[in-house]
Amino acid sequence: MYDPKEKQKGYFVYAWADVASSIDRLRIMTYDYSVAKPGPIGPISWTEKTLKYAVSIMSPSKVYIGFPGYGRDWITSVNGKCPVSAPPGLKGGAKAATFKTSYAETKAAIDKATPVFDEKFSEATYSYSQTYNGLSSTGASTECTVNRTVWYQNDRSYAERMALVAKYRLGGAALWTLAMESPAATAELRKAALAIAPDPVVNTLSIEGAPQNTINYAGLFTVKGLLTLKDKTPIAGLPVALEIKRPNETVWSKVTELVTAVDGTISTPMTLGGNAALRLTTVGTWEQAESVSQEAAIIVKSSIQLDRPVSVAKGAQIVIKAQLLPRLVGKSAQLQKNINGKWQNVGAAVLSDANGLFTFTTVEPKRGVITMRVQLIGDVASEQFAIVIR
């Protein structure tokens, strides 16, 4: 139904306002305005009025204007008596014949008519006559003249309706039926679509404070982004999602949402407890296309926190605990002692427990100061530490 406030006749079963929140698209059949009597297929003023009501009750992005790919040919009057050899149904008010608009030019040539463009309705129209000679049912000679009127939408009609898509920022246009329109109308659709297409967004991500995209566990680094148009014009006020995907995940998750500054940049500090990929994304709008930055794979190096004595009596057991971060089970580490400038293993390698903890024990028989460290096999070493053996 059209705007209910106006109480116009229409299809009351289509409760647009009621279904607006539940639908993805509303394709409006802005045609069949004239069916029983000759007239425009879908006057542009009627079409625009309908669109204005639709966008007043739902997001314009859901609304699609419907184009007819057909025209109608009505009999307006019949003069004389038609012979029995004439086509059946030749009478004023008969159901209109329909034709594909791709055939409109050929039809006009066959009808020996010159279409004119009605600017008020934004449609092409013409009238013509057909004369039939022959015999009546009684065998008498007879003749009739059939007067007809044709209406259809041509390439200019399509162009002017596509201007409404741009004016009201609609989701687009729909056709009944695709490929029934003329090649010239197809060209106008494409031309208009290219003119109002969303601008591509150049989305660039960079990482600072993480040489070669590598950080120590829980180390702080900065994620930066630059959002511009293709001509490098910065895009200000654009919402940007920072997303993350860990090695065991298949989908991206949003970490936070940022908004670009006047120069098109975003910046946020970040820390990670494990390897992960990062990217920036923006949602498509009527003005700008959606965008996805390149991915940045961040490698997190393990960190070792020590719990060890600073002084131990000679011959007493020395217990050294090393906490691996992130907490990984089954990792292998070696306690090492510096002897004459070289690191030598002390005892056998130890595996981390369920909490990522290594526990080493050793004994020193002589007084003095020893320098030690914990070496994660194939990975990082802890800081060096000294123990006084008294």
pLDDT at 10: 63
201-301 matches 303-389 in fold: yes
Tokens linked to 6: 């106006």
Domain 303-389 has CATH 2.60.40.10: yes
pLDDT at 12: 66
pLDDT digits over 58-97, tens only?
999 999 999 999 999 999 999 999 999 999 999 999 999 9
Fold of 201-301: Immunoglobulin-like (2.60.40)
pLDDT digits over 208-238, tens only?
999 999 998 888 999 999 999 999 999 999 9
pLDDT digits over 145-180, tens only?
999 999 999 999 999 999 999 999 999 999 999 999
Which of the four pLDDT bands, split at 50, 70 and 90, describes residue 15?
Answer: confident
The whole-number average pLDDT for the span 13-42 is 93
pLDDT at 113: 98
Question: Alpha-carbon distance 47 to 54, whole Å?
Answer: 11
One-letter amino acid for residue 277 of the chain: A
* Domain segments of the chain as ranges: 4-196, 201-301, 303-389
The whole-number average pLDDT for the span 32-58 is 95
Question: Alpha-carbon distance 27 to 29, whole Å?
Answer: 7
3 state SS for 48-110: HHHHHHHHHHCCHHHEEEEEECEEEEEEEEEEECCCCCCCCCCCCCCCCEEEEHHHHHHHHHH
pLDDT at 160: 98
Q: What is the pTM of this model?
A: 0.68
Lay out the sheet containing 63-68: strands in order across: 26-28, 63-68, 172-176
4: left (phi over 0), alpha (psi -120 to 50) or beta: alpha
Bridge partners, residue 374, by sequence: 335
pLDDT at 2: 59
